[in-house]
A = this chain, B = another copy of it.
Amino acid sequence: MSDRTRRRRSSSRRETSRDAPSSSLLDRQRPYSVIRNKFPPLDPMSEEQLEKIHHMSMRILEEQGLKVLSADARKRLAAAGADVDDGEQMVKMDRALVMDLVSKSPAKFTLTPRNPNHALELGGNTLNFGMVSGPPNVHDMVRGRRQGNFSDYCELVKLAQCFNIITFYGNQTIAPVDLPVNTRHLDTYLACIKYNDKVFSSMSIGSGRVRDAAQMLAIARGVSMEELAASPSAITNISVNSPRLLDEEMSDAATTLAELGQAVIVTPFTLMGAMTPVTVPAALAQQNAEALLTIALIQSANPGAPVVYGSFTSNVDMRSGAPAFGTPENTWANLAGGQLARRYNLPHRTSACNASNIVDAQATYETQMALWSACLCHGNLIYHAAGWMEGGLVASYEKFIVDVEMLQMMAKFFEPVSFSDDEFALEAIDEVGPGGHFFGCDHTMQRYRTAFHEPLLSDWQNHENWQLAGSKTATERATELWQQALKEYEQPPLSEDRMEELEAYIARRKEEIGDGEP
């Protein structure tokens, strides 16, 4: 627990009266905790269907293969025993070899950021909710829709630090286009380390950028690169350029990070109708083939390196080709992704996205569809769970707040319920009697402050009071909340020594890189 979280907790709502709630927004949130889905996963496929996906994906790898652009990756795979055609850049693998390599992956591992109390457990039934990552644009209701810049980037990192329910960051909260492309990663890594103390993902473009992330995380934690290899901090998400194409910058990032003992998520970019056939089983077989070959490559680089099975199968609108999210097909595929990850004993990354243009009912029901399946399938890393809009083209401040509320509700739903005798309150039921009410009885008075989830955003006032308060929608109220959160934000402490060392590292690397590539 950080100092600040500890301080917050001691003055938290749990010790204050509900009739006079804390004026601090952040004090009223849920405390930081590991969230587990203790229900069995919801498996959409029969054992036979699951094995058919496996079989068909193995046929894709055996009969068709993937195009692997990196000569280094092809060399590694050839050495491991794959059937490699360097002229065509094609790699085929038989199922025994694929499964042998994949089986070297750990079923669970821990990622430790600079604040070890915010370490993530990946694998099993943990649920971790991540910040939106990747959009080129940003939107809030005060400043409107605009191209993202570094100032927005830092603000979004701070916002996510404010809320305990967000436990990791994807590759980049937004793309800060005002920074030079070749050194942008250094500035954004520093911002992530300075303004937050949770796990963040590094940029998966080539080996230089991921190596910088590992080096900077080692400095931030005050550990050597050997110690970092034994206790990983860095993670990146690489996409397969579906169908069946593995880009050089992706595979280089993956094998470099694996060699450093850090974690890699492999996520085929499989939008049904565009990058895969329109049928769900085909999309899943293709996703599976692409993910497993890439995981096999990573294990050939460093057997036992931590990896995560990623699934991002949704569909496009067949009229326009536009991506759609939170659709019934996306919901089903999320569940199937979890079932596949368990089939191979791997941690699972999934997501909770939507394709709406505004923070409205559509944005919400699409997100909820994807979020429920992401949780029900035991998604260990649920990407884009806060702030994602427009199919990934926009990071939205108001949507971030709506999502924080939804995620807090989900966390409360998954909390175990006590069934001790006292919870049954038979004396209270007797005491209140037929037709009475429980507002004032002892059993209620002892528990009412913490009995129920207390919303940050939801408004349960009656219609008259809601009108008196300005007839605001949840989206309008969200504007006030992100503004308040930014006001209350406190930078998590980091020693001056380490900060100086980080700044020196960046200065040196910028010098080295110059106008070239990192």
A→B interface (CB under 8 Å): 18-19, 21, 39, 42, 44-45, 49, 52, 56, 59-60, 63-64, 66-67, 90, 145, 241, 243-245, 272-282, 285-286, 315, 317-324, 327-329, 331-332, 355-366, 368-369, 372, 376, 390-391, 393-394, 402, 405-406, 409-410, 412-413, 415, 417-419, 423-426, 428-430, 432-439, 441, 443-444, 447-449, 451-453, 457-463, 466, 471, 473-475, 478
Contacts and interface: CB of A to CB of B under 8 A. Distances in A.
Contacts of A417: 44, 280-281, 332
Contact of A368 (B368, B441, B473): B368
Given A282-B425, A433-B243, A362 B457 contact: yes
Contacts of A329: 412, 452-453
A435 B242 CA distance: 6
B463 A390 contact: yes
Contact of A359 (B280, B361, B366): B361
Contacts of A49: 419
Contacts of A317: 460
Residue in A90, A244, A365 with the greatest tally of chain B CB atoms within 10 Å: A365
25 contacts: A21-B319, A49-B419, A52-B424, A56-B426, A276-B429, A276-B438, A278-B444, A279-B424, A281-B424, A282-B423, A282-B424, A286-B429, A315-B452, A318-B448, A318-B451, A320-B461, A322-B460, A331-B413, A360-B360, A360-B361, A360-B474, A361-B473, A365-B402, A372-B372, A390-B463
Contacts of A273: 438-439, 444, 448, 451-452
Q: Which 6 A-B pairs have the closest CB atoms?
A: A67-B434, A368-B368, A328-B412, A277-B425, A364-B364, A278-B451
Contact of A430 (B45, B64, B433): B64
A439 B250 CA distance: 25
Give the number of copies in the complex.
Answer: 2
A244 B434 contact: yes
Contact of A361 (B361, B394, B437): B361
Given A244-B429, A273-B448, A391-B460, 17 more contacts: A18-B319, A39-B44, A49-B419, A60-B426, A66-B434, A67-B434, A243-B438, A273-B444, A274-B437, A275-B438, A277-B443, A278-B438, A322-B460, A357-B463, A360-B473, A362-B473, A362-B474
Nearest to A357: B466
B393 A463 contact: yes
B277 A428 contact: yes
A274 B441 CA distance: 10
A83 to B, nearest CB: 16
